[in-house]
A and B are shown apart, each in its own frame.
With several copies, the nearest count.
Chain A
Amino acid sequence: MADEMRATPLLDELEKGPWPSFVKEIKAAAKAKPTADDLLGQLELSYKEKISHWKHGGIVGVMGYGGGVIGRYSDVPEQFPNVSHFHTLRVNHPSGWFYTSDVLRKLCDIWETHGSDLTNFHGSTGDIILLGTKTDELEATFNDLTKLGFDLGGSGSVMRTPSCCVGEARCEWACYDTMALCNDLTHTYQDELHRPAFPYKFKFKCSGCPNDCVASIARADLSIIGTWKDDIQQDDAAVSEYAAAGLDIQKDVCDRCPTKCMDWDGKRLSINNRECVRCMHCINVMPKALRPGKEKGATLLIGAKAPILQGALLSSVLIPFVPAQELLETVKELVSRIWDFWGEYGNNRERVGELIQRIGMPAFLDAIGLDPVPEMVSAPRDNPYIFFQSEDVEEGETPGEEALDEAAVKETK
């Protein structure tokens, strides 16, 4: 193929420096693959002109799937014919991104046969990204992938591949089995993942504790964050060792506790666990001495998303605590109610968090049949604009359906 390399003076600058270079990666692939070589060329052109040379893809994909492939076309195909199509496949990753050398090699072999030799480990949703191939290779790639036991991830208005932190596989703080839950959800919702049936995308992310190592509260429509109900497990001997080893427990632990619910008298650390908000800080600082409690489970939060259209959202508390053993069932049951309502009342390209913003949490709770609890708010309303429901006022109209009335109605707000 491309025996003597094309000139890429700009990109070559990015081979310098200590951090591993993506340019070296592309060049490595370019040795064998004209697609990668043309990618290199088009990228050099983008660096020169300071503009992307990709254009919107049409719908491309594999038979019977509504997503999983991102179509991309070069807008300078005459210069770079090998990337005139350059579609990526999104592939469900194994929970926790665990692999064996063997399975990785087999994935590489598949991509060597069908694609550009370029990948992302991983995409930010968590999928394995097979970066760039032609339309007619898609079906073949898919068939080899499924034979190896892999399947496509999502794109478009579908559920996206759930992701999770390493959890119980390698973390002492996991309050539930994140990898099992993530794997169960991915398998349970294969249809929702592969065939667009939603107003917009829907993402799950599972973190084993409030450190939230998969950033679920910032990126998931449903964020599942481990926590505990009882007291922090405390090993006084280990606390003393930390103190002896020079840790300033007052300053670095107690004073940093957001609720100041810890007391250190120089000998003994006492925690007022009823005031503790499970922030993890003290545990993070003294992993040998403190651990989450034994009554473990998770908090379910809803609605995170990126800024388009009305500004970014973090997920907000929907169910403060679900015991670990009830988690899968509770999530499934809850999600079915949420998807029903969202599917019916969500506008096109409206994330569930945006729907809640539009109609208000109270109407949303009515709709999915959840009772309001104070844990759902950082504070009650401060404005006096209370939409009293007809059933609560004298000579009111027929009760029932308020939520949906209000949902319909408050779109004007």
Chain B
Amino acid sequence: MGTQTERLTDIGPPNYEQFLHPVIKKNYGKWKYHENLAPGVLCHVSETGDRIYTVRAGSPRLLSIQTVRLFADLADRYSGGYLRFTSRNNVEFLLDNPDNIEPLRKDLAESGFPVGGTGNAISNIVHTQGWVHCHSSATDASGIVKAVMDAVYDHFTGQKLPAKLRIALACCLNMCGAVHCSDIAILGIHRRAPKVRHDMLNKVCEIPTAIASCPTGAIRSATVDGKPSVEVIDAQCMFCGNCYTVCPAMPLNDPENDGLSIWVGGKVSNARSAPRFSKLAIPFIPNNPPRWPEVVDAVVNIVEVYARNARKYERVGEWIDRIGWPKFFELTGIEFTRYHIDDFKNAGLTYARSAHLRF
């Protein structure tokens, strides 16, 4: 580690203890049970009888420092200055005095931050950078999230679903945000093979690395107008974008053909059934900014059909387990196409290898 200068380096994050509410410090590891007092409001009760109240508010995740300071002010006013963020990017205020819950909720509402996301709700959408900061995005992230959350808002502030419903969005197949295990996943996809920039490829990329990056072996070396470069066998490309990740000269962004796909039935928790991947529901919806109405409708439709048909405690995937995929497509009115049938590496393991059929 030749880099140890006078500069401070490798100090890691500050210890969390200094940021813990006194009641939490005192009752750390002593919590006995919790109650869900209202949507977005939790009360955790300790062996010692102490209680900590949590007020959870929705956040766009992309925050200006002005809003972060607003959260700080609210924390000073109502929760002794103590707050945290959740694994789904909501903000949680930690109160020792229940009388502060209502005024905090009012102040949050006035600044446009809804309280909710607990229990059998749709919580915040885990998402990624999109056009705000990423070069490989097939779509924007924040815009779709905003449009969808506006549409399912009542499921954030309410808790009337059969179970938790987790939505996630990733703007390309890299799937930052790990959408692959969500009740409903919104995934940005490319649909055209990369357009190779022969003029610059040799300058900005290692040709062997580019070739090696392709899972389907669609890339082979080629010499184009004298310059060493690569060519892509279009028919062999499934648009994963990995070549672009390793080689800037192979962009595959394409306004006409980039868009969204919708995946359903994944889960992460071990509750009842094992964790599982989301499965393809809709192969492609074109990008339609600024509010992506087709994507919003698709998500709302799935949510509502689920809400109407699932039994209590059934996550989306567990509901589909019970009714079967044919019924899912029938109830949602989504078309089943050849694209729904796996033909990648383990193709065949998802074919129906029994005579168990409903008619």
Contacts and interface: CB of A to CB of B under 8 A. Distances in A.
User: Are A and B close enough to touch in the complex, i.e. CB under 8 Å?
Assistant: yes
10 contacts: A17-B146, A56-B135, A97-B86, A108-B65, A259-B322, A279-B270, A310-B215, A313-B348, A365-B341, A381-B339
Contacts of A308: 173-175, 215, 240-242, 245
A122 interface: yes
Contacts of B271: 210-211, 279-281, 284
Q: Which 10 A-B pairs have the closest CB atoms?
A: A64-B3, A360-B343, A17-B150, A316-B351, A101-B72, A92-B13, A210-B270, A190-B10, A396-B254, A56-B248
Contacts of B257: 393-394, 396
B349 to A, nearest CB: 8
Contacts of B251: 398, 401, 404
B18 interface: yes
Contacts of A361: 341-343, 347-348, 351
Query: Chain B at the A interface: mostly helix, strand, loop or mixed?
Result: loop
A393 B341 contact: no
Given A22-B60, A374-B329, A380-B340, A309 B242 contact: yes
A218 B16 contact: no
A72 interface: yes
Interface stretch (A142-150, A263-271, A332-340): A142-150
A20 B113 contact: yes
A50 B146 contact: no
B248 A10 contact: no
Interface residues of A, number: 187
A380 B350 contact: yes
Nearest to B111: A20
A115 B12 CA distance: 21
Interface string B262-283: 0101101111110111111101
B268 A309 contact: no
A131 B61 CA distance: 11
A94 B11 CA distance: 12
Interface residues of B, number: 180
A387 B238 contact: yes
Interface string B157-173: 00000000000000001
Contact of B87 (A214, A381, A397): A214
B65 A29 contact: yes
A378 B352 contact: yes
Interface stretch (B177-185, B222-230, B298-306): B177-185
A301 interface: yes
A294 interface: no
A39 B339 CA distance: 37
Interface in A12-33: 13-14, 16-26, 28-29
B289 A10 contact: yes
A279 B272 contact: yes
A95 to B, nearest CB: 4
A30 B148 CA distance: 25
A11 B142 CA distance: 11
B200 A406 contact: yes
A413 B64 contact: no
B354 A217 contact: yes
B132 to A, nearest CB: 6
A381 B235 contact: no
A306 B174 contact: yes
A202 B68 CA distance: 30
Contact of A406 (B44, B89, B203): B203
B121 interface: no
A35 interface: no
B227 to A, nearest CB: 14
B340 A377 contact: yes
Given A101-B76, A378-B350, A406-B235, A306 B175 contact: yes
